[in-house]
Amino acid sequence: MLKNLTIVGFLLFSIVGFSQQNFKKTLKLMGSRFDITVVANSETEGNQYINTAVSEITRIEKIISSWDSNSETSEINRNAGIKPVKVSEELFNLIERALAISKLTNGAFDISYASMDRIWKYDGSMEQMPSEETIKASVSKVGYENIILDKEEHSVVLKLKGMKIGFGAIGKGYAADKAKALLINKGVKAGIINASGDLNAWGTQANGKDWMVAITNPLNKEKAFSWLPVVNSAVVTSGNYEKFVRFNGIRYSHIIDPRTGYPSTGIISVSIFTSNAEFADAISTSIFVMGVDTGLNFINQLKGVECIIVDENNKVHTSKKIKLENPN
Ligand code: ADP
Ligand code: MG
């Protein structure tokens, strides 16, 4: 009898197990490539889940985009040095968390870096290095201390005229976290929201195996360093190797040191492993600004956060708990 029960149990498990599948869709959202994967019982269900994620990401983009003149963010930027702007609780809280990360990183992360967009361009249009005076003038508009939040009014004001905020270094991570949370809330058992290498995963693949991510070698995109299982956590990589400019033999990245107004140098890519993609996104950007030594030291002091850094000499550096086989 016991044996029969076991067999019935096994059969039921098999039927349930086999009907689930991974469904994946790649699309462009927030100006970036998103790969959304969900585990579902049918294609119809899979598509429905993916559409839910897409509408969530689109909704977020409408709030945080600095390109869309109708976004709350653009409204804040338009009113820089003029008046406080009442914003949604969601944007208010995101800015509040961004300011906390600025404090934690000693200003290496700063959403008000954005006014520097006017002088450092990474679309191939820059022909010469901006002058020292131009950089000086622009960086005077950067500084998270001048982003003023009023909790009661739910308002934000950028103190200086010409100041600007942008969520380029935190928005994709935030969107991945929010889309994941919404799908979990809708009962989706497992999936991955991957925003151009900033991803958050939950559950396991339909076959019961862990989701795996490839940590790619920035110098040889065909060759992964290694495949790592991601169990209910986030993996975020900063370092768009196409996005840089070179002047006088120096490679300037698209990440700006908010304190000097100059782009960071010395690092090619940073991957962060932790539970939350928003935090990982912001921190990965900060490490570029901090440099290898300060960056590693910083990560080693954070609980539950690990990193892999590749410097411009192709040397791989890892935080305490990560051991790669023959990384160099
Ligand atoms: P990637 O584009 O490689 O995913 P990041 O997540 O690090 O890289 O985000 C880089 C973007 O963040 C830049 O393109 C810019 O929009 C913005 N940014 C640049 N410097 C800073 C900074 N110091 N603090 C906050 N955001 C920044
Ligand atoms: Mg980032």
Counting ligand 1 atoms within 8 A of each CB, the residue from 29, 64, 113 with the most, and so the one to mutate, is 113
Residue where the block lists tokens 């950067």: 142
Distance from Cα 223 to the centre of ligand 2, integer Å: 23
Q: Whose alpha carbon is nearest atom 7 of ligand 1?
A: 285
261 ligand 1 Cβ < 6 A? no
**Predicted local confidence at residue 8, as pLDDT:** 42
Residues with Cβ within 8 Å of 93's Cβ and at least 6 positions away in sequence, in order, are: none
Category of 249 on φ-ψ map: left (φ > 0), alpha (ψ -120 to 50) or beta: left
180 ligand 1 Cβ < 6 A? no
pLDDT tens digit sequence for 242-277: 678 888 888 888 899 999 999 999 999 999 999 999
Is 234 within 8 Å of 275 (Cβ atoms)? yes
d(CA 160, CA 177): 32
**Predicted local confidence at residue 328, as pLDDT:** 58
Given a cut of 50, the residues of the chain with pLDDT beneath it are 1-17
pLDDT tens digit sequence for 7-25: 444 444 444 445 899 999 9
Distance from Cα 17 to the centre of ligand 1, integer Å: 41
Q: Whose alpha carbon is nearest atom 5 of ligand 1?
A: 169
